[in-house]
Amino acid sequence: MISVKDQIKAMNSALAGRKNAKEDATHLIRDEKDQAQQVLTVQDRKALYLLKCENCEYVIQGKPVKISIENCKNIVIKIEDKVITGMVDIWKSENISLDFERSVSVFQLDNIKTIAIRFPTHEHFGSMVWTGVDDISLHLGDQTHNLSYSQLQTKYPDLGPEMGQVKTTLVDGLPRTEAVVRLENGYPATRSEEASFLELEKKKDEVLRGQQE
C-alpha cells in the first residue's frame, strides 16, 4: 500500500507537470525594452498582459479576452480588433497611448502618469472608472477631452489618492465624471446611476408584490 506521504508526493509531481491554467489563458509580454513597432497576434480567448515593458510599440491583432497593463512606461498600442469582454485595466504606469478601432465597455485606471486613449467616434467609448491619474487625454473622433484627478479633488474633497474612485461616462456625447458609489451588487456607479438602479429595484419589488397578492 502506498503511504499517504508518497501519495502526496505523487500528486504534487503530477500537478507540477501541468500548465498553470491562468498562465495558459494569458498572452504575457514581460520586461521588454526599446522595441520598435511589432505585431502581436493574440489567440482568441486569451488575455493580453503587458508587465514592466518600456519604450515599446505594438499592433495587436486577434481578439483578446481583456487587456491588462502593469508597471509599463512609454508604451504605444494599436488594437485592431474587438476586446471580447470590453475590459481594459491599466495601473502603475506612465505615458501610455492606446488607439482602438472597436468599442471598449469599461476602463479601469489606477495611478497612471499620462495616458492617451483614442476612438474613431464617441459611440465607441463606454465608461472609465479611475483614480490617481492627473493627465488623461480622451480622443473621441475629432474631439479631445482632458481629465485630471487633482482637479476633480477640488470638486470632491473626500477623494483620496489611493482610495477614492471616479467614473466617467458620456452624456449627450460629452464626458461626465462623478464620484463612485457601490451598488448592492458591488458594481461601481455614479449617484445618478445609483438613483436609476434604486428606482428600477423599487419597480421590481412593486411588480413582485402585485403578483403575490
- Give the tens place of pLDDT for each residue, 118-137: 999 999 999 999 988 989 99
- Determine the structural domain holding residue 213 and report its residue range: 180-213
Residue at 5 is within a domain: no
| Residue 36, domain CATH | 2.160.20.70
The tens digit of pLDDT for each residue in 64-82 reads 999 999 999 999 999 999 9
Question: Do 35 and 112 lie in a common domain?
Answer: yes
Mean pLDDT of 17-26: 60
Residue of 63, 119, 65, 57 lying closest to 88 (CA atoms): 65
pLDDT for 14 equals: 44
Counting Cα atoms < 13 Å in the Cβ hemisphere of 110 gives: 14
Q: Which of 127, 74, 87, 118 is nearest to 100 (CA)?
A: 118
pLDDT-derived band of residue 157, with 50, 70 and 90 as boundaries? confident
Neighbouring C-beta atoms of residue 136, cutoff 10 Å: 22
Within this chain, do residues 94 and 118 fall inside the same structural domain, yes or no?
yes
Indicate whether 57 and 156 sit together in one domain: yes
Q: What is the pTM of this model?
A: 0.76
Q: How far apart are CA 205 and CA 213, in angstroms?
A: 12
Instruction: Measure the N-to-C terminal CA separation of the chain; round to a whole number of Å.
Output: 65
Average pLDDT over residues 89-101: 97
